[in-house]
């Protein structure tokens, strides 16, 4: 995506997101730690805890990137399988696996059409990718297909604080500082996309309603770190 270009839609969005993450994969982990001041680690651990699944459960991590959430799932005694649309991200994840930092298999695949059998997962996680899919309702339908009855989902995403002062400061940091740092260390266009991509996200109430319609219950929405991130959890209806 070129700096200043409008947000892509449909298949243009799929191609743009894939190319963007291929480009930023080599320094993605570094920038995650730097730009979130390390808070992303706490958010991922919270997402894993909220699964509330027993040791040995199989969890699909969608948009797994370089494998951060897969490592946290493994640390919790869960069997992770990573899926991502970006070959560049998976290349970095496989380097981590080859070095012994990660055991989970990594699969190139679209979260809207996973190459797995129905009800083959005890749980699903997804870190900061809801705004990157073409159709959230299709994603939630796919989650309902692959998660067994009684299974759990835990979905992390960015958010905007509701408090006016925090919202102002977050807007400056998200909209001005992050693209500048991203441009210095990686790809400026990709980190300009990050704040703009919030426009893809519907209100939390709408996302919770879609999950309910697609067969999930105990749907819960939590704001993290003063509202700069959000976590959506739910149980597949029996």
Are the beta carbons of 168 and 102 closer than 8 angstroms?
A: no
**Contacts of 22 by beta carbon, 8 Å cutoff, 6+ apart:** 86, 87, 88, 89
Give me the CATH code for the 10-236 domain, please: 3.40.50.150
pTM above 0.75, yes or no: yes
- The pLDDT value recorded for residue 3 is 52
- Which tokens go with 136? 């959230």
- Sorted by where each begins, the domain ranges of the chain are 10-236
Concatenated DSSP letters of 14-28: HHHHHHHHHHHGGGH
Low-confidence ranges of the chain (pLDDT < 70): 1-5
- The pLDDT value recorded for residue 166 is 87
How would you label 191-224 residue by residue, b for 16+ Cβ within 10 Å and e otherwise? Answer: bbbbbbbeeebeeeeebbebbeebbbeebebeeb
Q: Quick: pLDDT tens for 200-220.
A: 999 999 999 999 999 999 999
- The pLDDT value recorded for residue 98 is 76
């Amino acid at each position: 995506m070129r700096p200043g270009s409008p947000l892509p839609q449909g298949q243009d969005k799929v191609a743009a997101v894939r190319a963007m993450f291929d480009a930023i994969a080599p320094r993605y982990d570094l920038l995650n730690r730097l730009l979130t001041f390390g808070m992303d680690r706490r958010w991922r651990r919270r997402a894993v805890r909220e699964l509330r699944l027993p040791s040995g459960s199989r969890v699909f991590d969608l948009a797994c990137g370089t494998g951060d959430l897969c490592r946290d799932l493994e640390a919790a005694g869960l069997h992770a399988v990573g899926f991502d649309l970006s070959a560049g991200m998976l290349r970095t994840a496989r380097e981590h696996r080859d070095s012994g930092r990660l055991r989970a298999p990594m699969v190139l695949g679209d979260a809207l059409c996973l190459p797995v059998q129905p009800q083959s997962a005890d749980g699903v996680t997804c870190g900061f990718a809801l705004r990157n899919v073409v159709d959230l309702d299709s994603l939630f339908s796919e989650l309902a297909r692959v998660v067994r009855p009684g299974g759990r989902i835990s979905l992390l995403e960015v958010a905007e604080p509701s408090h006016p002062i925090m919202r102002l400061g977050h807007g400056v940091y998200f909209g001005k500082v992050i693209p500048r740092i991203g441009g210095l260390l990686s790809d400026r266009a990709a980190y300009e996309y990050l704040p703009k991509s919030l426009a893809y996200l519907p209100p939390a109430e709408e996302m919770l309603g879609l999950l309910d319609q697609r067969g999930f219950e105990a749907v819960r929405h939590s704001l993290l770190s003063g509202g700069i991130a959000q976590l959506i959890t739910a149980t597949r209806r029996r």
